[in-house]
Amino acid sequence: MITLTVSTPDASYPIFIQAGSLNTLHYSLQPYLTHQLAIVTNETIAPLYLRAFEYALQSMGVSFFSIILPDGEQYKNWETLNLIYDALLRKKAERNTTLVALGGGVIGDMVGFAAATYQRGAPFIQVPTTLLSQVDSSVGGKTAINHPLGKNMIGAFYQPKAVLVDINTLNTLPDRELSAGLAEVIKYALIKDVQFLSWLEDNMDLLLARDQKALAYAIQTSCHMKAQVVAEDEKEHGVRALLNLGHTFGHAIETQMGYGVWLHGEAVAAGIMLACRLSEKLGFLANSDCVRVKTLLTKANLPVQAPSFAVSQWLEHMSHDKKVVQGNIRFVLLKSLGSGFVTSQVSISDLESVLSS
């Protein structure tokens, strides 16, 4: 088992990475379990992994109940969040009832937000089952729901007690979802580690073939980089904003197209290409750098062309981005491959040129 640690000023917690860890919970999660658990999952994950998780808890003598939500980004809203609160209240869940997020990024974000707000704060554990959630959304304590005017605009920073990554859950992940997760992996390499970028170029075929050794390395490397950034800047006042490479554009795509039409990772991939082109426009990247990124994203079966809509619509959606400061949109760009930075020094004409192209 690979164990990493995330340390923030207010919390420290482990990330456990292992194939088959859902069946051996007592070796990792037992110290983090309370007298009662609420397992929250969705209609897709429940038939695959809920029974095994429940069986493991039963063998440990843990009291629990399960909540099954509809599946999809379009359900990441107040109505679905209230289903969690309704079940917790009906079961008379207490402040120390531990909420377990068994699923992908949507489940993790909603369960984390529910935990942050139920009786002003209940413990929760992340058990991510998609590559995107394993390498990104389950780590770092960002929790949120969507609003029709903007993605992840209502939420809280709230750290889990532990993160349990079972690589075997990726065996049932649809190919499209696997590729979506790879967008976040590629993001880490672009903002922080050009050697990891080279490794991804050399090993993309293994990742797409779900080679466990390659996946374990990609997950461990991504989580290690995120843990470092979160330790330095838990609440995104500075360096943590780098983790949003491609997201300002990507969130605009998701909002414009309708939540769930484009997967989050797909929108991020197209957003990464726009960020690369804007970085090239500003004189930081060479065209060959953008071609290199495009080639890798294409190899990962990710979109490299954003949908076409009016520049005014782009600007409207991006004005709701969480990185906006005093009305100025801040962009995550690349000084070079492996070196990201945040800037608001982007002219409307340069932005319009990139978006219109």
What pLDDT digit, counting tens, does each position of 101-130 carry?
999 999 999 999 999 999 999 999 999 999
Active site residue 244: yes
26 in catalytic set:
no
| Same domain for 179 and 167 | no
- State whether 116 and 234 are in the same domain: no
The verdict on 41 and 125 lying in the same domain is yes
Is the same domain home to 225 and 350? yes
| List of long-range contacts for 186-189, beta carbons under 8 Å, 24+ apart | 186/269, 186/272, 186/293, 186/296, 186/297, 186/300, 187/243, 187/245, 187/246, 187/268, 187/272, 188/135, 188/221, 188/222, 188/225, 188/226, 189/338
The reported pTM is 0.92
Could you say which of 155, 172, 189 is where a domain stops? Answer: 172
- Are residues 304 and 248 part of one domain? yes
Mean pLDDT value of segment 303-330: 83
For 161, the domain range is 2-172
Question: Which is the catalytic residue, given 240, 294, 322, 330?
Answer: 240
The CATH number covering residue 81 comes to 3.40.50.1970
Q: What's the number of domains the chain is made of?
A: 2
User: Is 334 or 323 the better-scoring residue by pLDDT?
Assistant: 334
Banded model confidence at residue 239, pLDDT cuts 50, 70, 90: confident
> Given this model, what pLDDT does residue 195 score?
97
Tokens (6 digits) for 150: 């903007």
pLDDT tens digits for range 260-310: 899 999 999 999 999 999 999 999 999 999 999 999 999 999 999 999 888
Residues contacting residue 280 through CB under 8 Å, at least 6 positions apart: 286, 287, 289, 290
Confidence category of residue 357, pLDDT binned at 50, 70, 90: confident
Mean pLDDT along residues 317-340 = 84
Residues 338 and 274 placed together within one structural domain of the fold: yes
226 in active site = yes
What is the pLDDT at residue 22? 87
Say whether pLDDT at 323 is over 70.
Answer: no
User: Is 247 labeled as catalytic in the residue annotation?
Assistant: yes
Do 115 and 179 belong together in one domain?
Answer: no
Tell me which of 76, 226, 294, 322 is the catalytic residue: 226
* CATH number of 207's domain: 1.20.1090.10
112 in Cβ contact with 38 (< 8 Å): no
Examine the fold and report which residue of 124, 154, 172 is the final residue of a domain before the chain moves on.
172
* Catalytic pick among 42, 54, 73, 142: 142
Does the annotation mark 236 as catalytic? Answer: yes
Where does a domain end: 128, 152, 172? 172
Give tens-digit pLDDT for 46-95: 999 999 999 999 988 899 999 999 999 999 999 999 999 999 999 999 99
Average pLDDT over residues 151-167: 93
